[in-house]
Structure 1
Amino acid sequence: MIPFDPAREGFLQEQLAWAQQSDPLQVRLLYGQGGCGKTRLALECCKRMRALGWQAGFVGGDLSPGQAKNLAIKLQASGQACFAVIDYAETRQDVVLAFVAAWRLHAGAVPLRLLLLARQGGDWWRQLPYKNADCAAILDGGATTGPYEVAQLYQSQSEREQAWYCAHKAFAIKLGLAPTMQAPDISAAFYEHALYLQMSALLCLRGERADTPGSLLRSLLAHEQRYWRNAIEPGWREVDWQRQSDTLMCLNTLCGGLRTAKEAEVIWASLGEEKKDLKSLFERLRQLYPTSKGLPALAPDLLAETLLATYLEQDGGIDLLLELMRQNNSAWQYSALTVCARMLKHRPDLRECLHDVMLQGLQKSLQTVLDVCRDVDSPFSQVFVQVFQILAQDDSGNSYKLALEIAKKVNVNIERRIDAIYDIFMFALELLAKQFEVKCKKKENRESLMEWASSLIMLGVTCVFNGQIDLALQKSMQVRQIWKNLGVARNEDERNHYAAVLVSQGLIMYQLGRLDDAIMFSEEGLEIIGKNFHSNSEEIFSFYGGALNIHGFYLAAVGDYAKSISYCEYGLEECVRHSRKKPRLMFWMHQQIRLNLVFWHWCANGADMKEALFADVQVESGEQGKLYDKRGFDFWRACLQALAMPQTPTLDTALCAAKTLSLSERDHWQMPRLLLFCLADSQAHPQTPPGWREEYARVMRRQKVLPRWMQDAAARLGICFPPAPVALASAV
């Protein structure tokens, strides 16, 4: 209805230029506040791309991941280049991943441009590549760009007046009304939002003025409600029409749209409404929105949120949300809580309402609540923590069960960098540790002490991963004290447990730059676990192999390459000896240790790495699907190849492999990554991560010691690390 704003043309052309690149698959994220014009921009993109011969449009908001997958396959099979838009991408990540994975799996010559729209980038966007291995190379590589902000348009008064008159004239023509001669005062900052400017232009045709965002939205909502009344009357009970229409539209908005009236019957009846009214009301309202299947959620979002906030403030308004959360429908729960979480950003008065809802239904909808905390940047997670703290005071055992469920459901490898999730996860782990401590005090025995120690190990290692080294050290010392009370380990399980304590202690010492202590604890742990290496447990095999590799890095950090080489040779012998028991695991462990052995020889005496590193790795049939630390192996091999031949092709491969690492893998390979980035930076490689120097500075503030192997590698390559933020102690 309103012509595309010429002020947005430059930004639009940037998106069209991106869309017409020659690459087969490209993904881009645009973000901005509600009402800034994201959807209007995407619609214009689709219009222009269709004119160029592409098929273009929005991926339906009601599509499931399976339906999105089928749609991608169908579009690709058409053979026509495709420009697809997914709105609300931060809350439809499963749909994004399904669409990308399907297109990539059936990749051919058909180009795809996938434009994602969201209210923010941030944590959900950074984590997205690690949620589906089939999408990682696309979403964390050069094929994906963004986030780019869709900025507010109207900074000057003249720009606002021009846009206001354009919208006002378009509405007047559409509605057959005479335009107003003069615009109202539109100097307030909120008129930078295109939506508010257009609301004002529409309301003025009706002779109405509003001077705040809230009054604009309430006035527009009143108009929408009059349309509902005209559709519902005559023949409807005068006293009921507004309550029932508001209830249905709020429920519809919370659910993200209803296909049929029958879907709402249970909740409708539980609120004391007559089922016979529902179908008639649904059909009458649906006639106002004929372009959608069923009854769509009220749009734009800000209008829907105004209706919902007004409804929830009424007596009994919270009952609608409570009833919805009681339903066995995780999609509805996620949609409802997402809407509420967004509202909290500008309606803090709704915290109490959400607090009560979560207090009654947290345990039943825990996964959904965690998903919303992860996906929506809002105070919602703070409400969750407050509710959790209240539930933690419960002595009935429910708080323990809830903490245990959180510990199981949070994917620490992916989500520990999200502050909201990390705070919740840490609180759960601390609660578990306290519960086990209380249990020990009531009835101390070896089993309860082992449980307590295990919870503290998990807590300590999580602290290490998040950079809370002092807290990790504190927890580690508690575990050591527990083991003093336990005395000598009595069986294999206890010995393995104690070995894990020692290896974890070594990791913490290494992170603190206390290299001698790290070596001492690690050697003691390896000695214990080595005696149990005859076990058939794959977990023990994997743990031992990982501990051997890490210990080699500790020794090389102080320049003891002879011992590093000795441990590698011993590890290779063990791999050969146990290859019949665990062929797949031993194969990859053998390959990993072999790479380390080549590297330590190079660090020690400059031995040539090329022949060993560029030989093909033979993968036996059936092994490709379950590879031992495959991404880490691929990165380390590519990194060493770049060190052996520091040229553009090898650097390209290594930097690309670094991008595929998950967050936990990035931490595990942090020092090799920094060495690679320093090398790439020295050659002004365009793919060098721009923030690598800041990461290096953070590491050195904590660790204080630059490992000897990094010093020697840098010297052999003729490169220099940036000056450290603190004086470094020599690792020699």
Structure 2
Amino acid sequence: MDLRRVVGVTGPGGPGSGYALGGRLLLASAHVTGEVGSAAQVFFPGREGVFDATVVWRGTPGGRNDAALLRVDDTSWQAPAGAGVRWGRTVTHRTEIECTTAGVPEVVQRTGQPVDMLQPSGTFNPGDRYVADRYLVSLTQPAPSNARDDSPWGGLSGAGLFSGDRADLLIGVMATDPVGWGHARLEAVPAYVLHQDEKFRAALVEHAGQRAAVVLEPVEWTGLADAGEVVPPGGLSGSPAELLRARREATPFRGRAELMRQLRAWAQQGSGTAARLVHGPGGQGKTRLAARLAGELSAAGWAVMWLSGQAADLRDLADAAVPLLLIIDYAETRPAQVAAVAEALARHSGASPVRILLLARTADGWWQQAQDASPSAEQVLGVAQVTRLPALDTAAEGRRDAYREAVTAFAALLRDMPGSIGPQDNNWGALAERLDPPPMAQAATALAVQMRALADLLDTATAQRTDEQSEAAADDAMEVEDRLLVHERRYWRTVAAAQGLSEVLGWETLTDAVAASVLVGADDHGEADELLCRVPGLADQSRDIRDRVRRWIAALYPPSPSRPWDTLQPDRLAERFIGRRLRDAPGLADLLATGCGPEQAMRLLTVYARAAAHPAFGGALNADLTRLCTSRPDELAPAATHVATQVEEPTPLLQALHQITDDPATSIDRLTALADQLPYPSQTLADYAAQLAARMTDHYRAQANRDPDVFLPSLAACLNNLSIRLGELGRWEEGLEAVAEAVGVYRRLAEGRPDAFLPSLAASLNNLSVDLGELGRREEGLEAVVEAVEIRRRLAEVRPDAFLPSLATSLNNLSVRLRELGRQEEGLETIAEAVGIWQQLVERRPVVHQAELERSQRVMAWLKGLPDL
């Protein structure tokens, strides 16, 4: 909470407290204020001035929604600066949740002294006063005494109640000092009660400058949430690009009626966990669609969380006890996190609905990788609905309407923007009326239409300046992104001049610093300084200068707590900026890549690859990207294996991986590390994976010829892996040759050391049966899997904990082979044994083995000729 926003309130019900939400809107108590339209007075404790206010919304005094909203009418009012208010609610049954409030209660007031403030803190349990929809706060401080009959807490009513890791979520409004607790407990009206009132939400939009939909975030998981999109109420930063951020919801929501209907039905289809993937090109409207759904569900009482990319420990998600919408944006860059979320929520009780909405540019290898991460991930993600988001406005009239709506909306917002956008006396409404929708391509995305509208509006405004001609307006041939970047750079210059940086550093250096923040990024201030040290023009500067540059970037793009800066958005604009910068300064990426950690390397290659794929560059950046990866294989090649599955155009990255693998100087250790990094399976990487497996097989074959005792096991393992990789490409004959050789090697090894190599022999026999079956040699395939079952049965008798799962897997395969040969009864007996084993294993470790049990049950249903379970 921000103590600068705490106010005192005077109304017909006596003195009270309140909290400034933004703009001219204040939160207060219904039993302190009068009816809607009545007057009240507010003041900041310890500061001069009393301000007239009007009640614009009011709940029931003493009722379950005992709260009010006041609009300050005084022209002298200045809203406190700072980030916007985030709202929250509890989502679990966790006890002793910490909270704090602040107001002007009677207990700290002294005769003849200015009105003072108190900040009580305490804890609450969601189950206390659950039926009455109240939070019962147990105070940490000793209960105050009062010689009079009234409560010492009089005057605290209306104060905001905050909770979360940094007490940054507004979760309620202080209401009463309940009897029976000796003034040691206080009651608050939960925020979720207020947000269920449509008029309350409308007042936030109208008077608090709350442009985006208000959502209620989970109090217990604030450390997991992406808080970087909180809109500062009452104004914007001055960045033109900020108006284009999808979660700002600056323009009216258009279309998508049928998809929204489907998403509502998906959310309401029952309790338990369900996932859905929406994918499409950048700028198609995925994030905006999710924001719309989030707003609607929040208004219906759901908690909503946009998951941070840095969120790590996700186990507590299984404790969700209220309806929850979890949104994962850029899911294609976060497959491991997506899998972790699914694994956590596979343990959810199912008593309340939990919906995972995944947003991604593609649904290729990363999606299968996330599902295959574990049986639990497959259990949740394997049945997820997948929707490709179509273009929004394919008809010319629809694009013209979207353009008009965007121009009008941007004009209304630009009135509140700083003067660097254009002359402060611009009549933005009149400028908007002068603009006619231009012809736009049928394939134009929703973002493309909005970018054109904003660029046209800004160009029209800046072209009116008498002291300069707009660079963008002077060149009609410039692409819309470049036109917007002209205005964005003007914003950078204005802020740099205000902070005195223009007098210390050249513009090229400052531009490279922004490029570093966009291309590589940093998770903390230490990483930020290390990155800025690699920027040309900053390496020889003092730490003080670099800190000033970091603060400048943070002022341009305010960060979420603990992070050094946010970044230029939307992505399409950032990618165009990076592409231009790397084209003009081709050595910059190499300097910035020095010393990159894994996460930074992933981001660098992702942004670079997307920039290189931009049609404006015509492939001119592809060779440079490939050279960057081959010149730094240790730092960038592992990241390239992942990024290649996540970007729309992975060719430059794949070419780099092929070159690194083909290079005779590449060591076997590096090849092994790359093989360990490969996501499995991946259609994008299938050719490369086969090439890498073949290269490693050749290496160990040569080594085994020289020293078979040492290297034959490695050769057999590589042959087995090569057969799998060839099978992914449909090259079954070659795969059969490789796995047959692997089986032969493992037989010889198992003769000498059965304990060490019988498990590997059984695994290779399983693969051999698959390849034989694919080639129609089913009798031989049956013979191979029967031998695998016999080996694993003997192993399981000795070490059941280690080998029962692999035995059950081989029994699955055996049952399928038997059915293929018409031996259905034997197949049913075999799969029944597999199901029995999995049931035993599920009793011990349900999360680990449940998905495998269900897979065997589906095989049993198939053998019986029944529909899949």
Is the TM value for this pair above 0.5? yes
Q: 1:64 aligns with which of 311, 315, 337?
A: 311
Q: What residue identity is the alignment partner of 1:426?
A: A
| CA distance in 1: counterparts of 2:435 and 2:308, whole angstroms | 37
SS of alignment partner, residue 844 of structure 2:
coil
Q: State the partner residue of 1:325.
A: 593
- Deviation by residue 1:42-72 (Cα, 9 ceiling, x = unmatched): 22222222222222342234x3222x555x3
SS at match of 1:117: strand
State the match for 1:19 in structure 2.
Answer: 267
Q: Are the equivalent residues in 2 in contact too, given 1:86–1:114 (CA < 8 A)?
A: yes
Counterpart in the other structure of 2:549: 281
Q: Could you tell me how far 1:8 is from its partner in structure 2?
A: 3.2
1:34 aligns with 2:286: no
Note if 1:145 corresponds to 2:145: no
SS in 2 for 1:35: coil
For residues 458 and 371 of structure 1, the distance between their equivalents in structure 2, rounded to whole angstroms, comes to 19
1:296 aligns with 2:516: no
| Cα distance, 1:594–1:242 mapped onto 2, change above 3 Å | closer
2:352 paired with 1:100: no
Question: Conserved in 1, the CA contact under 8 Å of 2:362 and 2:646?
Answer: no
Q: Could you tell me how far apart the structure 2 residues matched to 1:159 and 1:96 are?
A: 35
Residues 472 and 4 of structure 1: is their aligned pair in 2 closer, same or farther, counting only changes over 3 Å? same
1:429 and 2:693 correspond: yes
> Match of 1:314?
584
Q: Which whole-Å CA distance do the structure 1 matches of 2:443 and 2:804 have between them?
A: 64
Structure 1: where are the runs of 5+ without partners? 523-545, 551-570, 654-732
CA contact (8 A) 1:324 1:333 kept: no
Question: Which whole-Å CA distance do the structure 1 matches of 2:810 and 2:625 have between them?
Answer: 53
User: Mapping of 1:567-586 within 5 angstroms?
Assistant: 571=790, 575=793, 581-584=798-801
**Which residue is 2:125 aligned to?**
none
* Superposition deviation, residue 358 in structure 1: 0.8
SS of equivalent residue, structure 1 residue 363: helix
Larger Rg: 2
Q: Is the 8 A contact 1:457 1:475 kept in 2?
A: yes
Shift of 1:334: 1.3
Superposition pairs of residues 696-707 of structure 1, within 5 angstroms: none
Shift of 1:287: 2.8
Distance 1:309 1:410 in 2: 28
Counterpart selection for 2:512 from 247, 264, 270: 247
- Superposed, 1:83-98 pairs within 5 Å as 83-98=325-340
Could you tell me how far 1:335 is from its partner in structure 2? 1.6
Q: Structure 1 residues 373, 98: CA separation in 2 closer, same or farther (over 3 Å shift)?
A: same
Cα distance, 1:631 vs structure 2: 5.6
* TM-superposed deviation, 1:432: 2.0
What does residue 725 of structure 2 align with? 462
- Code of the aligned partner of 2:371: P
Residue 146 of structure 2 corresponds to none
Question: What is the number of equivalent residue pairs in this alignment?
Answer: 580
CA spacing shift, 1:631–1:499, aligned 2, 3 Å = closer
1:221 and 2:485 correspond? yes
Alignment of 1:29-178 (within 5 A): 29-61=277-309, 63-66=310-313, 68-70=314-316, 72=317, 76=320, 79-141=321-383, 144-146=384-386, 148-176=387-415, 177=428, 178=430
The answer on whether the counterparts of 1:257 and 1:296 sit within 8 Å (CA) in structure 2 is: no
Post-superposition Cα deviations, 1:380-403, rounded to whole Å, max 9, x if no partner, equal 4x53444542563334xx343322
Supply the distance in 2 between the matched residues of 1:6 and 1:627 (Cα, whole angstroms): 42
Alignment check: 8 A CA contact 2:328 2:357 kept: yes
Partner deviation per Cα, 1:304-345 (whole Å, 9 max, x = no partner): 111111221233x533x3344333521111122121222233
Contact 1:392 1:399 survives alignment (8 Å): no
Match of 2:621 in 1: 350
Superposed CA offset, 1:78-114 (max 9, x none): x432223221111122333333333342435232222
Q: 2:855 matched to which residue of 1?
A: 635
Matched, 1:265 2:529: yes
Contact 2:376 2:851 in 1 (8 A): no
Q: Residue in 1 aligned with 2:94?
A: none
Alignment of 1:463-542 (within 5 A): 463-464=726-727, 466-475=729-738, 491-492=752-753, 508-515=771-778, 522=784
3-state SS of the aligned residue for 2:480? helix
Query: Please, which of 437, 440, 453 is the counterpart of residue 188 of structure 1?
Result: 440
C-alpha contact 2:521 2:528 (8 A) present in aligned 1? no
Q: What is the alpha-carbon distance in structure 2 between the residues aligned to residue 196 and residue 618 of structure 1?
A: 52
The alpha-carbon distance between structure 1 residues 512 and 305, as it changes in their structure 2 partners (threshold 3 A), is: same
Alignment correspondent of 1:377: 648
Q: 1:388 to 1:246 in 2, by over 3 A?
A: same
* Counterpart code for 2:576: T
Unaligned runs of 5+ in 2: 1-248, 416-427, 461-471
Q: Is residue 337 of structure 1 aligned with residue 605 of structure 2? A: yes
Q: Which amino acid aligns with 1:349?
A: A
> Which AA in structure 2 matches 1:198?
Q
Distance change (3 Å), C-alpha of 1:169 and 1:95: same
Structure 2: which amino acid aligns with 1:336? L
Partner of 1:243: helix, strand, or coil? helix
Out of 384-393 and 502-511, give the one that drifted further: 502-511
The one-letter amino acid paired with 1:188 is M
Cα deviation for residue 621 of structure 1 reads 9.0
Shift of residue 620 of structure 1?
6.7
Q: Name the structure where helix makes up a greater proportion of residues.
A: 1
* Aligned mates of 2:576, 2:331 — CA distance in 1: 22
1:535-591, Cα deviation, whole Å (9 max, x unpaired): xxxxxxxxxxx55257xxxxxxxxxxxxxxxxxxxx59x95x776632445766777
Distance in 2, Cα, partners of 1:628 & 1:46: 32
Counterpart in the other structure of 2:175: none
Report the 3-state secondary structure (helix = DSSP H, G, I; strand = E; otherwise coil) of the residue aligned with 1:30.
Answer: strand
Report if aligned partners of 1:30, 1:118 keep a CA contact under 8 Å in 2.
yes
**2-structure distance, mates of 1:194, 1:362:** 38
The CA RMSD over aligned residues, in Å, is 4.3
Instruction: Give, in angstroms, the shift of residue 430 of structure 1.
Output: 1.6
Deviations 1:664-718 (Å, cap 9, x if unpaired)? xxxxxxxxxxxxxxxxxxxxxxxxxxxxxxxxxxxxxxxxxxxxxxxxxxxxxxx
Aligned-residue offset at 1:637:
4.9
1:271-320 CA distance string (max 9 Å, x none): 341232222232233234347444211100011111111221233x533x
Matching of residues 442-453 of structure 1 within 5 Å: 443=706
2:601·2:639 contact (CA, 8 Å) conserved in 1? yes
Structure 1 residue 239: Cα displacement = 8.0
Q: Is the 8 A contact 1:168 1:179 kept in 2?
A: no
When residues 580 and 289 of structure 1 are mapped into structure 2, their CA distance, relative to the original with a 3 A threshold, is closer
Q: Residues 222 and 591 (structure 1 numbering): CA distance in 2 closer, same or farther, change over 3 Å?
A: closer
How far has the Cα of 1:37 moved from its partner?
Answer: 1.7
Deviation at 1:625, TM superposition (A): 4.2
Distance 2:836 2:757 in 1: 39
CA distance in 2 between counterparts of 1:101 and 1:502 reads 31
The question of whether the paired residues in 2 share the 8 Å contact of 1:456 and 1:479 is answered with yes
Give, as a single letter, the amino acid of the residue that structure 1 aligns with 2:639: T
**SS of alignment partner, residue 640 of structure 1:** helix
1:509/1:42 CA distance change after superposition, 3 Å: closer
Which letter maps to 1:639? V
Normalised to the residue count of structure 2, the TM-score between the two structures is 0.58
- The 3 A distance-change label for structure 1 pair 132 and 301 is same
Question: In structure 2, how many angstroms separate the alpha carbons of the residues matched to 1:186 and 1:232?
Answer: 35
Does the CA-based 8 Å contact 1:305-1:339 persist in structure 2? yes
The answer to whether the Cα contact below 8 Å between 1:429 and 1:455 also exists between their aligned partners in 2 is yes
Q: CA deviation at 1:229?
A: 0.8
Q: Does 1:405 align with 2:652?
A: no
The alpha-carbon deviation at position 215 of structure 1 amounts to 1.4
Cα 1:159–1:209 shift into 2, 3 Å: farther
Contact 2:579-2:612 at 8 Å conserved across structures = no
